[in-house]
Amino acid sequence: MTDENRRSLTLRDVSEASGVSEMTVSRVLRNRGDVSTATRERVLKAAKELGYVPNKIAGALASQRVNLVAVIIPSLSNMVFPEVMSGISAVLEDTGLQPVVGVTNYLPESEEKVLYEMLSWRPSGVIIAGLERSDASRAMLEASGIPVVEIMDVDGKPIDSMVGISHRRAGREMAKAILKAGFQNIGFLGTKMPLDHRARKRFEGFTEALAKSGVEIMDQEFYSGGSALAKGREMTETILKRSEELDFLYYSNDMIGAGGLLYLLEQGVKIPEQVGLAGFNKVELLEGLPRRLATMDACRREIGEKAAEIIAKRVAGEDPERIIELTPKISFGDTLKRR
């Protein structure tokens, strides 16, 4: 407010204000080495009075150390990544490391750009969603020389480390559970999948397991964009009008599953007697629905925690396990029971 163009305070200003060398000020502010209590207090007082905020840019350049962990995810709005983030934050909290988020919107070119941008700040580690990426992105990560944890998915080969679940297996397990419950006429509803590799893998695992039992998907329906809940309704209406014999609908995520559930209840369809349902992700939202939708826990928070642990340990010079596969559990809820 006072004068717009003043430069910000430096160590030197604090040094002068406290009558102590810059070096000692630096030591006090970082709690390093021995400093007498008297000078320490003098310095702290001066720093506080001036409102000094250290310049991490200079600090990082001098020390060749940056306490940042780049976290690169496809989307914020997803309900899935906030939970991963909270796992990461919780673990990094007491390590001196700090997460910095970059969002790619599921676009490989965008991922490249975000990655380049973040790596140019020389973070201590990278946590990045998925295993599929462009050659350029892969090259950057390899060349960076820092720990890289690829998360969410373990169906593939990591650049360095990975923690996640097998989406193929998740799809297979769900298929088995559905068949075991006695459903035979199964429909699939999901996102258009070129961009969403994990949904694609679930779909592949799902159809594969059905095939093993001689069952084929009876019908399918895809969407992109828009309100997932509303799309779930629409798609459910569409697919059931087209294939009346369907007795089970497998949704690629809980939101569209919830939309389908609401629609079917309105139509007076008996669930699961007439039609069974399942989604994926076990989002909190489901707890408030009129029926508990069957779903599968994607271990989102735990993935964040484990990934952060790997980075923290590697930064600390340890050599933790680099591949961690978590096991999702099916929640049968009210919509996946023996007919």
Contacts with its own copies, residue ranges (CB under 8 A) = 1, 4-9, 51, 53-58, 60-61, 64, 66, 76-77, 79, 81-83, 85-86, 89, 98, 100-101, 103, 116-117, 119-122, 139-140, 142-145, 160, 227-233, 258-259, 262, 266, 284-285, 287-290
For the bound state, the minimum distance from the C-beta of residue 194 to its own copies, rounded and expressed in Å, comes to 22
For the bound state, the minimum distance from the C-beta of residue 142 to DNA, rounded and expressed in Å, comes to 18
DSSP type of residue 316: T
For the bound state, the minimum distance from the C-beta of residue 250 to its own copies, rounded and expressed in Å, comes to 19
Peptide bond into 272 cis (omega under 30): yes
**Can you say whether the dihedral through the CA atoms of 318, 319, 323, 324 is positive or negative?**
negative
Between 11 and 240, CB nearer to DNA: 11
DSSP 245-284: T--EEEESSHHHHHHHHHHHHHTT--TTTT-EEE-SB--G
Instruction: Select the span of 1-9, 145-153, 289-297, 328-336 touching DNA (CB under 7 A).
Output: 1-9
Among 26, 104, 166, 281, binds DNA (CB under 7 A): 26
Between 202 and 231, CB nearer to its own copies: 231
Cα 99 → chain centroid: 12
Q: For residue 279, how many other CB atoms are within 10 A of its CB?
A: 30
Asked if 258 contacts 279 with a C-beta cutoff of 8 angstroms, the reply is: yes
DSSP type of residue 212: H
Instruction: Select the span of 33-41, 150-158, 199-207, 223-231 touching DNA (CB under 7 A).
Output: 33-41
- Residue 5 binds DNA (CB under 7 A): no
